[in-house]
A and B are shown apart, each in its own frame.
Chain A
Amino acid sequence: MRKDTLKKNQHHHPYSGNKWTMNRDEIKSILVGFINKSSHIESAAVMTRDGIPLVSCLTGGVDPGTLSAVSASLLSLANKTLSQMTKGKLQQVLIQGDEGFVLLVGVGDNAVLSITSEPDSKLGILLHEAKLSARKIASLL
């Protein structure tokens, strides 16, 4: 009986329970603060490294599940590409499109922060702010 309970706890979802609800709210307010700070930033979301959505502030029509999966794939591929090419540790993944940027930064060892911004964004500031937010979020995961 006790063994069963133990086993169950061990398999308990890492992102559930009261503490996580509190942390999730705090992460949400970090993301909202981050988006509000700059008029160029459109959306921000945090997901696990295996592509499960944790907290999202997305614009309409973007599915958090799909975004989380593609972000996890990209970050992992980018990481492995760097080690394949002996270029050290990953700083960020920056994708530029006609209509703006997608930026991915690692959040601790377990999660990813994905951000979208407008085409005329100041990249240096964006990267700096993203890393500050990622550090804050990492302490809550």
Chain B
Amino acid sequence: MEESQLKIVFAGSVGAGKTTSIRAISDIEPFETEEAVTDETRHLKETTTVAMDYGRMNLDSDTSVQLYGAPGQERFQFMWEILGQGALGVIILIKNNADDPLGHLDRYIKAFSSHLQTRGIVVGVTFTDISQRPSLSDYREFLKVFKGTIPLYTLDARKDDMVRTLVKTLLYRIDPMLTTTD
């Protein structure tokens, strides 16, 4: 049987844990494009993704998921478009201790729903231990307009089982058949 590959994208706030998530679940050594930070986010972390991350997660013996990570900064928006091509869905990670996390979420959803053919979006909120606001119910309220089509999770990007849950939820939303062998 021909091996089938599915493509998904990790997008979202700077420092939310996109590179970390891919590192956590990839079955191959991930490809990363980290460079030293010189912009206004330099107090948050030392390096940042400037082009893309790439990893691969095996779903079963003949299906794997290609994991692409997008840079968070809006100046790299052209990469969102490039990486969004052919993607089945996007996992949007929001750093809860950043300024205006709901504003971030709004921008990423808008950007990616125009790039993607599908409406497959899952949201993961990180650093909820450091900042409790906005609360999950604030996010739910915000996501109401999407009428329950966007699942919401809190996430520690270092925990592979948590990241895997988001990936599987996204795949299930796109096509329930994809995850039945789990």
A21 CB within 8 Å of chain B: no
Is the contact region of chain B dominated by helix, strand, or loop, or is it mixed? loop
Produce 1/0 per residue, B37-63, CB < 8 A to A.
111001100001011100000000000
Closest to B79 in A: A73
| B residues near A84, Cβ cutoff 8 Å | 31
- Tell whether A72 pairs with B35 under 8 Å between CB atoms, given A50-B50, A51-B76: yes
Partner of A76, one of B42, B51, B73: B51
Contact of B75 with A by CB under 8 A: yes
- Whether a CB of chain B sits under 8 angstroms from the CB of A14 is yes
Check B33 against A110 for contact (C-beta < 8 Å). no
Residues of chain B lying within 8 A (CB to CB) of residue A72: 35, 50-51
What's the Cα separation between A63 and B33 when bound, in Å? 23
Residues of B within 8 A of A74 (CB): 51
Specify which chain B residues have a CB less than 8 angstroms from the CB of A80 in the assembled complex.
31-33, 51
**A-B contact number at CB 8 A:** 64
In the complex, A93 has a CB within 8 A of chain B: no
Contact B78 A76 (CB under 8 A): no
Q: 1/0 per position for A64-79, CB-CB distance to B under 8 A?
A: 0110111011101101
CB of A12, distance to nearest CB on chain B (Å):
10
Tally B residues with Cβ within 8 Å of A.
20
The answer to the question of B36 belonging to the interface, with a C-beta cut-off of 8 Å to chain A, is yes
Interface size in chain A (residues, C-beta < 8 A): 24
Q: Shortest beta-carbon distance, A14 to chain B, in Å?
A: 6
A47 to chain B, nearest CB (A): 10
Chain A residues within 8 Å of B76, by CB = 51, 69, 73
Query: In the complex, what distance in Å separates the CA atom of A108 from the CA atom of B43?
Result: 22
Interface centre among B36, B38, B39, B42 (most CB of A within 10 A): B38
Apart from the given pairs A13-B38, A50-B38, A84-B31, 17 other A-B contacts in the complex at a CB distance below 8 Å = A15-B38, A48-B36, A49-B38, A50-B35, A50-B36, A50-B37, A50-B39, A51-B75, A65-B75, A66-B78, A69-B50, A69-B76, A73-B52, A73-B71, A80-B31, A80-B33, A110-B36
A-B contact pairs, 16 of them (CB 8 A): A15-B38, A48-B38, A48-B39, A49-B36, A50-B37, A50-B39, A50-B48, A50-B50, A51-B75, A51-B76, A52-B38, A69-B76, A73-B71, A74-B51, A79-B33, A80-B51
The 8 closest A-B pairs by CB, nearest first: A73-B51, A76-B33, A69-B75, A49-B35, A48-B38, A77-B51, A11-B43, A76-B50
